Amino acid sequence: MDLSQLQAIAGDCLSGGTFNLPPERFGDSAIRGLFRAFFPTGVRLGGAARTADGPGGAVRVTGRTVEPILALSDVSACVEMGMDGGAPYLSLRLSALPFAWTPATSFTGMGGTLVEAFTWQDVALTLDSRKPDALPDDFEQQLGRTPPGAALLSALKRGLTLEATLRPGMALQGLGWLLGTPRVRGAVEPDAAGAPRMWLKSGSLGEPVTLGTFTLPFGFELLSVLVEPGGGKGAVPSVDARCVAGLAFDTGSGTVTLPRPRRSPRPSRRASRSPRGRPKRPPSSSPRSRRWWMGSRCTTWCPRTDRRSTRWCWTAWNSRSPPMRRGCSLPPSAWRWPGPGRWTRAGWR
């Protein structure tokens, strides 16, 4: 089936302002599965007319529903038939729904749940054979819930997308400052009894919080999971609402440059050496000083600076005073040298 055949089908089904599209006109399994799930007798529109073609030359017919679809009659509808990736597709968009519509209107299993605490505005229901917003198989596992049985999953009707603007009702009036009026969109997959699983997501709520190059956008989600109580009873939807926060890293140009930490240069062992390789003699306080100086390279641990260093240490000796270390005013008893022993007035012990 190609685009010319779809155009021929649209021309044959449109007559005298009535559009009657039976499922037998399509051989594609995805399109027939959509018919079988949501409108098994076909699509009938009154006041129908051809409109401008969609993307890729897709055929569009608008009108108002004659037979109930999702428990809705006499609402605006647009049928689109076209080719996507070499395969035919069919989509039906229902809009201009009644003012008092809630998901419980079309899905009886959601009566008395949290969805009735919101006012649903600018609602649009789209049935698409391509199933662009189908929920993943591990939908319940992502939320930390127990998944339904395989028999229930196989009986779910897929291909329905819900778009709406939510306004908190009287029961959630205290959250109006936080939620505002978010626009949500997501998939709705009902079972045969009208109990759906659903995941509606909104965009960012107001201005996101910015911390430097990090952005924290807050969003709103309304979700429903199916719970099987057992005892031969059907699945029951459990509806929750939550605010979620994401984390975005704004890199500007799309690249992130992190400076490599620079290591501090190691002190050169030749910095304190004389050209001949021997340590320089420190200046004497007096030309006739009786002290004589001995230079040695050693590793010490100073308890005052709490640092370990390897350097040339000068020790002054004379007959009247103990050895003195230049640059450290601690008494010799506080010096700690590697290995057993310590400096005393009598020498190394």
Contact status, residue 203 vs residue 221, Cβ threshold 8 Å: no
Q: Residue 224: CB partners within 8 Å, gap ≥ 6?
A: 110, 113, 115, 196, 197, 198, 199, 237, 238, 239, 240
Q: How far apart are CA 1 and CA 273, in angstroms?
A: 92
Give the three-class secondary structure for 109. helix
pLDDT bracket for residue 272 (50, 70, 90)? very low
Q: How far apart are CA 146 and CA 324, in angstroms?
A: 77
Residue 325 scores a pLDDT above 50: no
Q: What is the pLDDT of residue 29?
A: 84
Q: Are strands 307-317 and 160-168 parallel, antiparallel or unpaired?
A: unpaired
Q: What is the pLDDT of residue 53?
A: 84
Report the chain's mean pLDDT, rounded to a whole number: 76
More confident position, 228 or 215: 228
Contact status, residue 183 vs residue 222, Cβ threshold 8 Å: no
Q: pLDDT (tens digit, 9 = 90+) per residue, 192-215? A: 888 899 999 988 776 666 766 667
Q: Supply 127's token pair.
A: 């049935």
CA atoms within 13 A on the CB side of 213: 9
Whose structure tokens read 């419980």?
Answer: 104
Q: pLDDT (tens digit, 9 = 90+) per residue, 108-125? A: 888 888 888 888 999 999
Give the three-class secondary structure for 169. coil
Q: What is the pLDDT of residue 49?
A: 93
Q: How far apart are CA 4 and CA 289, in angstroms?
A: 114
Nearest to 186 by CA among 171, 203, 170: 203
Residue 288 buriedness (CB in 10 A; 0-12 / 13-18 / 19+): exposed
Among 88-102, 140-154, 298-312, the minimum mean pLDDT is found in: 298-312
Q: Strand 324-325's sheet: what is its strand order?
A: 292-302, 307-317, 324-325
Nearest to 190 by CA among 135, 268, 267: 135
How many helices (H) and strands (E) are present in the chain, helices listed first? 6, 20
Longest CA span, the chain: 129
Nearest to 131 by CA among 158, 157, 163: 158
Q: What is the pLDDT of residue 143?
A: 84
Which pTM value belongs to this model?
A: 0.66
